[in-house]
Structure 1
Amino acid sequence: MIVRLLICSLFSVSFLSIKAQENFAAYANIKIEPTDKINFNETEIAVSYEKNLGTKYKIANTLEYSNLKANYELNQFDFYHDQDKFNQIQNKFEFSHEISEKTKWQFSIIPTANFQQNLDVSDLTVLGDLTINQQLNSKLNIVIGAGRTSIFGAPKFTPIAALDYKFNDKTNLRIGFPDSQIKYANNERNEFKITNSFNGNFYHLDISDTSEKAVLSQITTALEYDRNVSKNWFLNFKAGYDFNKKYKLTDSSNHQIYDYNIGNGYVLGIGIKYKQ
């Protein structure tokens, strides 16, 4: 009980002043990802805020909870009944500094607890990244950096790079790693995006003879549509496909113990967001 209290305190310490912030947002998403062998359903809720500290500094904080369920439809013997529900509590704190009119740097720290049912201090992992943003001209911007991420499943240090190009007031292009997108807004209420992202996650297992973690990763290409339905409310619709999708069990050294060989599959999602 004490361990749970300490972990919850760690996630909420930078979130306590949320009522005093004006730039507040809350959102909820539902996503389904069926494959040939296993169907995944994920529910996510989050609250966030951001605040300018003078003219050159900004902080932002997002507290998020997600629940992933795995449905082993073709498993006749219910062998994986204890590996069908996974939880994540994550807090992302960001700090950015505008060094000059064209240059700024951003730092983030992301404590995350990924677990099945029993939350323990051993489930806590700290991720984060550091990036530099350089504006080359009115249309072109580059981002370089590195971070400790879970885009390949296990926590690893990975590079971050992107080239942003603004065609006009309606169309923007980002080419980079781990995320790329092209965005088009035909008016203030409609926005269309084609996205490509490397993404993954891991979960500590409660009871297992040899396995320590369940690891998931994929490359997702999707078409997204954002609709501003009123002053403060937004809807998001997503349809796409997961490539190179993997679901494995690993030991404490991230060595593979078992591969489910689930194959690729499509992804569908819907979300709602409140922003002020």
Structure 2
Amino acid sequence: MTTQTSRGLAVVTGASAGIGAVYADRLAKRGYDLLLVARNEERLHALADRLANETGRRIEPFKADLGRKEDLSRLEARLREDASITLLVNNAGIGSVASILTGEVEEMDAMIQLNITALTRLTYAAAPSFVARGSGTIINISSVVGIAAEALNGVYSASKSYVLSFGHSLQKDLADKGVRIQTVLPGATATEFWDVAGYAAQKTSSTTMSAADLVDAALIGLDQGERVTIPGLQDLGDWTRWEEGRRAISAQFGNAKPSSRYGLATANAA
């Protein structure tokens, strides 16, 4: 049990298992009090009791289904109003391996609501308070399929591409206001995600990382000032070159005339 001064209240969504539960454990041990958000009340209370006993931190369970507007609104209000909150981990999410020909559109819509809408609304709720205080940290959990878009379900990949792009924009808007933004891109990680997504065999693959290693690496990346953290990427230079290429091509989009490859000038002259 610890008696160290609290580093503030960390909010972790999807906290009852997997990556979220490991974040809860590590942040409590780093001196944060916790607001743990998840749907599974039994698991949530068990985790909260264990961490409170082990760390001496104040751990509050917050039962919520972030796919439900009323539950999401309650958490948004807490983020706006509680000045003790210093860190938000947007981890809650669901995935799929189904193609557009086999997936159910209602399930895809629910995925968008959780992976995109909830994450966005919670970030919008937290950011103004952090800016007002001149400090705060937002960690958004994306995925490597946000780049490797063909790897899994298209809606899932697109939702994680959104999180990555959103993180770049948040950096632009908030970095000079004392708010730290980190976007984490896990690869395959050994959690119940794969059971829900419909491909449980991935949990035991030789290319699958443990949730503990993923979170520990991500937090070290945060300590080191990484804006985008990809724990499974062995050569950071690969990401640096990717980013340099993305930013370089972005400067080439602003042209009033289409490229000559479309032959419009020749066609118009004829």
Range class of TM-score, shorter chain: under 0.3
Instruction: Give the structure with the larger strand fraction.
Output: 1
TM-score between the two structures when normalised by the length of structure 2: 0.28
Instruction: Give the structure with the larger helix fraction.
Output: 2
